[in-house]
Structure 1
Amino acid sequence: MNADPVTLMKQQVGYAAAAKVQSNSIVGLGTGSTTAYAIQAIGERLQSGDLQNIKGIPTSFQAIVLARQYGIPLVTLDEVEKIDIAIDGADEVDPQKNLIKGGGAAHTQEKIVDSLADQFIVVVDSGKLVDHLGSTFLLPVEVLPMAVTPVMKAIEKLGGKPQLRMGVKKAGPVVTDQGNLVIDVKFDRIDQPAELEKTLNNLPGVLENGLFVGVADIIMVGEVKDGQPSVREF
């Protein structure tokens, strides 16, 4: 398989995260292209007998489909006492390990699962590392459809520039797995992510936003140097 260095790097990061999963554990299965390789690797470890008695908690339809494809048994939060480890991607990571997530519009379920995990491992490529959140990525806010206009007006008062996320290969807006809409917000810079997370979530009609503050434990970063993929932790 002659994959390009970026694909190989994503694969290596996903596999390195999957290597941290131990037998007899409940695993939060995140969403996105790098996390997909982690799900694949967990499935392969199960098939080979390297891992036993794993149950997955998915964060999206994508995670459900991949887990079934790779033979990982799934359970719901109603059925477990705790989540041992969660593996998920991010759109931005700052030096304090705070994240912006939600590029795949799955951040609400991701936040529930990732926050409950004893250990939350974030898998990213080095392009996702920023000095402060909001540098490169818009902040996703999941909102009930009836509340889109008032929420956008309230976000403007907070200094954000909101736009409704529109579908690709679908007419009209993106609809989340929960049946809601996503507003992507440009903030010039997010200096107090913990405060902004609370403020946004207190707006009536907002379900959840993509700021993940103080949730991540380990960041696994993939890089390509001189055409060679590598993985480091911070």
Structure 2
Amino acid sequence: MNAISEIRERIALEALKYIGNAKVIGVGTGSTVGKFIEKLGEYRREFGDRLFIASSYDTILKLREYGFKVIHPLMVSEIDVYIDSADEVDKELNLVKGGGAALTLEKILTYYSKKRVFIVDYMKVVNWLGEKHPIPVDVIPYAVTMVYRYLKSRGYNVKVRYTTKGKYGPVISDIGGIILDIKLDSPVNVRDLERELKSIPGVIETGLFIDLVDVLIVGYKDKVVVRKRS
């Protein structure tokens, strides 16, 4: 097991502590979340009677592989706890998500959960959002060319995200949108950026998660640090 795998295993185990008596558990998407699901599977006797809501088809398949019951969000009125990872996190506990193209469903589950817990390794901690990872934007396919040109006209460095393996073409989100990636060269006011992007007709959602973290678990080579929003 390499160093990053060991770190992910430790933070996944730490995240299990925040499930408690939760009956409905939301689960995000990505390789770090995959490690969390693996740990859930090891404790299936303890968590086997819980209900799970997944943010992507990938997560549904992984949860079902361990025999967990995955339900549709329409079947519940609220989510007790949501566990996910992130592509970037800043010192204010704001995030960039969407590397797995599940950002819209992830944000919905995050917003409507009583407790939001995110797990990351230390390499995801940045000085400013967009420093290492582009800002994903989920766009209605009908409008993608117009949204793309509009963002270009506003001076944004924007690209259509394309698949790197499997079926060739633009990356399609779990709700059927096309993903645009905005590369930032310097810090910006992410709250203003979020408002601007969400005001554009055709934009479904962005990968900026502002004020949506209750607990952040960061794994380092020699320790695990837990931060909570005050």
Task: State the TM bucket, normalised to the shorter chain.
Answer: over 0.9
Show CA shifts across 1:171-195 (max 9, x none).
1111122222100001223432122
**Structure 2 residue 50 is the aligned partner of structure 1 residue 69:** no
Cα deviation, residue 42, structure 1 = 2.2
Query: For 1:148, which of 144, 147, 150 is the aligned residue?
Result: 144
**Structure 2 residue 107 is the aligned partner of structure 1 residue 114:** no
Q: Distance in 2 between matches of 1:120 and 1:160?
A: 31
Q: Distance in 2 between matches of 1:105 and 1:52?
A: 28
Cα deviation, residue 154, structure 1 = 2.0
Give the paired residue count. Answer: 226
SS of the residue 2:196 aligns to? helix
Q: Distance in 2 between matches of 1:60 and 1:70?
A: 16
Cα deviation, residue 43, structure 1 = 2.9
Cα deviation, residue 10, structure 1 = 0.9
Q: Is the 8 A contact 2:137 2:181 kept in 1?
A: yes
Cα deviation, residue 209, structure 1 = 0.7
Cα deviation, residue 156, structure 1 = 2.5
**Structure 2 residue 28 is the aligned partner of structure 1 residue 35:** no
**Structure 2 residue 208 is the aligned partner of structure 1 residue 211:** yes
Q: Distance in 1 between matches of 2:22 and 2:129?
A: 36
Q: Distance in 2 between matches of 1:190 and 1:208?
A: 21
Q: Is the 8 A contact 1:83 1:116 kept in 2?
A: yes
The match for 1:138 is 134
The match for 1:162 is 158
Cα deviation, residue 126, structure 1 = 0.5
Cα deviation, residue 106, structure 1 = 0.6
Q: Distance in 2 between matches of 1:209 and 1:103?
A: 11
Q: Distance in 2 between matches of 1:27 and 1:174?
A: 27
The match for 2:23 is 25
Which is worse superposed, 190-199 or 5-14?
190-199
Cα deviation, residue 168, structure 1 = 1.6
Q: Distance in 1 between matches of 2:11 and 2:212?
A: 19
Show CA shifts across 1:35-73 (max 9, x none).
11212222332x33x336311110001110011011221
Q: Distance in 1 between matches of 2:215 and 2:89?
A: 11
**Structure 2 residue 47 is the aligned partner of structure 1 residue 54:** no
Q: Counterpart amino acid of 1:177?
A: D
Q: Is the 8 A contact 1:23 1:52 kept in 2?
A: no
- Percent identity over paired residues: 35
Q: Is the 8 A contact 1:23 1:53 kept in 2?
A: no
SS of the residue 2:37 aligns to? helix
Q: Distance in 2 between matches of 1:157 and 1:134?
A: 20
**Over 4 Å off, 4+ runs:** none
Cα deviation, residue 210, structure 1 = 0.2
Query: For 1:128, which of 124, 129, 134 is the aligned residue?
Result: 124
**Structure 2 residue 224 is the aligned partner of structure 1 residue 231:** yes
Cα RMSD (Å) of the superposition?
Answer: 1.5
Q: Distance in 1 between matches of 2:9 and 2:29?
A: 14
SS of the residue 1:224 aligns to? coil
Gaps spanning 5+ residues in structure 1: where? Answer: none
Q: Counterpart amino acid of 2:42?
A: E
TM-score normalized by structure 1? 0.91
